[in-house]
Amino acid sequence: MKNKIILITFIITIIGTCSCYCQPHTSVIFSYDILQYNSLKYKFISQDKFILQCKNEFQSNDSISNYKEHIYIIDSSLNIKYIRYIQRRFSEDTNHLFKRDKIEILGTSVNLDSLFYGEDYTKTIEPRASTINGVYKFNFLNHKYVCFYIQDITNPESMLNTDILLFDITNLYKIKLLLHAFQASEDLKCFGDFNKNGKLDFVLWSYGNSFQDTLKLYELDSNMSEFTLIKNKYLIITDTGSTYNVNLKKSKWFANSPIYKKLSKNKP
């Protein structure tokens, strides 16, 4: 009888242990690494290598409108510049426009405020003071890209988000701005070929008023001109206080991929 009790206890213990090991995990701490098959090989352009030129200083007669133009040469070979204006003021009497920060690549200029406010922003809207957190260059499928991570320091919510600008610089005579988005991470691993179909993808996740508990997949279209949403690919992200987890049960991302299967395997 005693042996039977010991045997039953042993079997129950084994079953309990197996059930613990055999229950698939329903969440995993989020990292872009779990989405990637192969990470992009990129070149980080250190801010220590930015060349600063103070090109212009202007002051009107009435001392109301003045500015300094700081030019950061980011890549001299591609003539990539970040032009930032300081001490900008607006005078309705003189109808003086605010100076707006911009990025130039081989003469192609992008006004940052037109991205923030839209093309119809008015003269009276003060410029958003921005700072560059990182610049990266990478190649993917015979195309060359440069990516900017820019922080809007005038907006408290922007501390949770970073503006991402992605340019296609393959054709130096036709620079294309492919993407402007707000992303919660400065990790370049938000770009890659996540569904392995030979196209560049972007995954979007953001905080603040635009907080999304769903991380979505966007794919560069066949015209190589813009990213479009792939509706059946997403991850459900939950905030657990100090970490962010992917709910593998509710998510629809890589259900058949080796990475997804590995995460869903029987583990304690």
pLDDT in tens, 154-210: 766 556 678 899 999 999 889 999 999 888 777 888 999 887 888 999 998 876 554
Q: Is there a domain that residue 38 lies in? A: yes
Task: Check whether 144 has a pLDDT greater than 90.
Answer: yes
pLDDT at 167: 95
Report if residue 72 sits inside a domain.
yes
Nearest to 125 by CA among 159, 150, 90: 90
CB 205 within 8 A of CB 217: no
Nearest-angstrom CA–CA distance, 60 and 37: 57
Structure tokens at 192: 């890659």
The H or E element that residue 18 is part of is helix 2-22
Distance of alpha carbon 69 from alpha carbon 150, whole angstroms: 18
- Residue 138: per-residue pLDDT: 93
Asked if residue 93 has pLDDT above 60, the reply is no
Single-letter residue type at 39: S
83 part of a folded domain = yes
Structure confidence at residue 64 (pLDDT): 53
pTM of the model: 0.80
The string of pLDDT tens digits covering residues 42-85 is: 888 888 889 998 877 766 555 555 778 899 999 988 899 999 98
Count structural domains, the chain. 1
Range of the domain at 128: 2-263
Cα 117 to Cα 176: distance, rounded to the nearest angstrom: 20
CA 242 to centroid of chain Cα atoms? 21
How sure is the predictor about 212, in pLDDT bands with cuts at 50, 70 and 90?
low
Instruction: Give the C-alpha separation, 214 to 204, whole Å.
Output: 9
pLDDT of residue 158: 57
Task: Please indicate, yes or no, if residue 216 is contained in any of the structural domains.
Answer: yes
Q: How far apart are CA 233 and CA 76, in angstroms?
A: 39
Interval 109-131 mean pLDDT: 81
- Where residue 90 falls among pLDDT bands split at 50, 70, 90? low
CA 197 to chain centre: 21
Q: Is 268 contained in some domain?
A: no
Q: Enter the DSSP assignment of 114.
A: H
* Conformation bin of residue 79: beta by default, left when phi > 0, alpha when psi is -120 to 50: left
Structural domain includes residue 43: yes
User: Is there a domain that residue 258 lies in?
Assistant: yes
Contacts of residue 137, Cβ cutoff 8 Å, sequence gap at least 6: 42, 43, 45, 75, 144, 145, 146, 147
pLDDT the model gives residue 14: 35
**In terms of pLDDT, which residue wins out, 258 or 36?**
36
For the chain, the average pLDDT equals 77
